[in-house]
Amino acid sequence: MDAYSLDLRKRVLARCDAGHGTKQVAELFNVSPAWVRRLKQRRRQWNSIAPVQRKMPDQRKLKDKDRERLETLVAGTPDATLQELKKMIDGKASIVTIWRALRDLKLSLKKRASVPQSKTARM
């Protein structure tokens, strides 16, 4: 959901400053009374009515350096399994995290460990 525009915020506060009640203003502008109260509180406390820009921290386990290393490992040993790749990067991340990183890098890998064929005859 997008934040309400600065113009709407100014109009809501102007109406409140003119002496109208919170519920009246909320109904007039089709917003919730709680939002009007929070807007007035924000202006009081922070002297600002601009919407807050949320910044999400980088929570990836494998940073860019690790991803580059993973890319070189896959280029060097393309038949390595996810479990083997996990050991090669010192177990910094789970198998699912490694799989997601490979997916993001658009790299394919071997799907299962090497096993001898069950039959030598033609199938």
CA 63 vs CA 31, 70, 75, 85, 88: distances in Å: 42, 10, 18, 16, 16
Q: What is the pLDDT of residue 52?
A: 84
Q: Would the pTM of this model clear 0.75, i.e. be above it?
A: no
Q: What is the pLDDT of residue 43?
A: 96
Per-residue pLDDT tens over the stretch 91-123: 778 888 888 888 888 887 765 556 666 666 666
